[in-house]
Amino acid sequence: RQTTKRGFKTKREAELYLATVETNKARGEYIDASAARVTIASLGTEWLANQTHLKPSSLRPLEIAWRLQVEPRWGKVPVGDVRHSDVQTW
């Protein structure tokens, strides 16, 4: 059974979108839509929790920097909304 994807008015539009996605994948620039909605806070917390290879003296500065500098600015921002220029400005 054939179904249609909402948003594409023609087959050509759908094919162009597919070509764009495939090109972005090949360049390593593709971000899955569901992954793009994850916030920096959830990733940062998970990343810190996985730093079990670090000694407490090495982990502490990372936790402090995360809590005082990164999380207040970027915590609520979805990954897909982070722009290189925003990070450079920050």
What digits encode the pLDDT tens for the residues 57-70?
A: 999 999 999 999 99
pLDDT > 80? residue 76: yes
Q: What is the pLDDT of residues 47-58, one digit of tens each?
A: 999 999 999 999
10 Å Cβ neighbour count for 66? 18
Considering the chain, what is the average pLDDT of its residues? 88
Segment 14-39 shows an average pLDDT of 85
CA atoms within 13 A on the CB side of 44: 21
pTM, two decimals, is 0.63
Q: Is the pLDDT of residue 7 over 80?
A: no
SS3 18: helix
Measured distance CA(82)–CA(61) in Å, rounded: 24
